[in-house]
A and B are shown apart, each in its own frame.
Chain A
Amino acid sequence: MTKPSLTKRIRSLRPWLGLASLLAGLLLWQFAAQTGNLPSFILPTPVDVWSRFVRAAADGSLFLHMGVTLAEILSGLLAGVAAATCLGYLVAKSRLLENLLAPYLVASQAVPLVAIAPLLVIWFGPGMFSKILICALIVFFPVLVNTVVGVRAVPPALYDLMGSLRATRTQILFKLEVPAALPIFLGGLRIGATLSVIGAVVGEFVGADQGLGFLINVGRGQYDTSLVFVAIFALVVMALALYGVVAWFEKRLLIWQNTVDSHL
């Protein structure tokens, strides 16, 4: 009788363990920065970073830049996912289209996005649009590939089922293909969401006057390393939140394939 209650207690401690380890990490960092006697522009202490955060939050600049980057990420993600899903569906359905597009798709994967980001900024200016484009491009490929794989993985026998029931094209799309392709598609979306954050920051590094990538550049230029840390943490929080949203959707939409949750 004592055993299950003990494992239960350990389990209820689990979230606190993560927090404790984070706290320990912060303490270690503070300790290292102080005893190493490093100047603040090389390695600021957590306390430095915190006070810099408070300052940037108080004058509103942090949230302005976060807002800009978030807007770029979300618009880019939306555009990239929409385009990749539509094209991916058509490619999955047509070998001809696949063969026509294959060289471009392979080439687009061979070109590192970081290398063409400057080009896009030259063409489309330093504003938000070029960042949205970079986000959309970086998101495009994994979502496209997963859409194609997902749609092609629909069991042929289920097409036979829908056919024997005289289902229309639209019914086959919404009642068979969409739900059947969803697990693999959402896997692509999860990768895309993570990449979109990278895309926005890369774009802002190359040329921007707003956004967290811009803020990192500013901090570096002014030897305000605490500000760089603040911007990085803001990015981490945003990336985690985005990932969390997708993971939450995944869990909600795919309850039919979740095995019994081991954490509950």
Chain B
Amino acid sequence: MSTDPILTVSDLTVTFPDNNGGLRALDEVSFEVRSQEFICVLGPSGSGKTTLLRVLAGLFPPTAGEVNFGDHQQPRHGMVFQQSNLMPWRTVLENIRLPLELTGAADAESRARALIDQVGLTGFENNWPRDLSGGMAQRVSIARALIHDPDLLLLDEPFGALDALTRERMWMELSRIWQARQKTVVMVTHSINESLFLADRVLVLSARPGHIKLDLEVDLPRPRVDDIRYTPPFGQLARKLKAAIE
């Protein structure tokens, strides 16, 4: 794993206008993300996790502070939202193809089909989103986030709406994809288990206004299998995270 930061966030502060002097969602958040690192962001509801991702995606500028992307001036983002956020008027294939349509790549169709294979949706290419289960829809949106080969994957509680069994299967798929495709990932989650299963590092945000309360290195061996949660190191890390959240 290379160590040069692909993303540097320094003193990031976001204040939303409101009736009494502004609502501060993020307060001087600073961290670095190295290339091909998998970062999880934990924090209570309203701590500004979604706001952080939206700033990283360039959807709006921060009130103060900076986001720097190393030598990538315009990094490509792949974003997965809490709800699968598919376009209901597009089939599975057309939804996955969307990012390439915007940039005008010639091989959109074949790349979309390859990804459909990879996320296990072969045979559903021409289905409408309304016919998909929650887990299938979320896999479509993961494929859509990967198709334009983004430098940075931003995931906002992508598995929040799924049942426990599907969620754990998705963890396996995501970490397989992440390792196969060598991506840098920033993923927001509510779940300590999820973060320890997937992340190289976990950032814990405090309650509003969010600032970084803990920056925890997760040195558990990979690939992480189901049983890892019963090992002592996993338990120690989980306890540390739990203490920081409460």
Contacts and interface: CB of A to CB of B under 8 A. Distances in A.
A157 B58 CA distance: 14
B130 A157 contact: no
B14 to A, nearest CB: 15
B25 to A, nearest CB: 16
Nearest to B57: A164
A163 B59 contact: yes
Contacts of A158: 85, 87
Interface string B79-93: 101010101111100
B154 interface: yes
A246 interface: no
Contacts of B58: 163-164, 166
B128 interface: yes
Contact of A180 (B89, B91, B101): B89
Interface residues of B, number: 24
A168 B103 CA distance: 10
B interface: dominant SS? loop
A256 interface: yes
A171 B130 CA distance: 24
8 contacts: A157-B83, A160-B54, A160-B85, A161-B79, A163-B57, A164-B57, A256-B130, A257-B88
| Closest 10 pairs (CB-CB, A-B) | A164-B79, A164-B57, A179-B89, A256-B89, A163-B59, A157-B85, A164-B77, A256-B128, A165-B99, A167-B102
A153 to B, nearest CB: 12
Contacts of B85: 155, 157-158, 160-161
A175 interface: yes
A165 B128 contact: no
Interface in B131-148: 148
Contacts of A155: 85
Given A163-B59, A257-B89, 5 more contacts: A160-B54, A160-B59, A161-B79, A166-B102, A175-B98
B19 interface: no
A166 B101 contact: no
Contacts of B101: 175
A257 B90 CA distance: 11
Contacts of B81: 157, 160-161
Nearest to B91: A256
B74 interface: yes
A182 to B, nearest CB: 8
A160 B102 contact: no
A165 B102 contact: yes
A65 B88 CA distance: 44
Contacts of A179: 87, 89
Nearest to A155: B85
A106 B98 CA distance: 40
Nearest to A258: B128
Interface in A227-264: 254, 256-257
Interface in A109-131: none
A162 to B, nearest CB: 8
Contacts of A157: 81, 83, 85
A256 B102 contact: no
Interface string A162-195: 1111111001000110011010000000000000
A20 B98 CA distance: 50
Nearest to B74: A166
Contacts of A164: 57-59, 77-79, 154
Contacts of A171: 102
A176 B78 CA distance: 18
A167 B58 CA distance: 12
B77 A256 contact: no
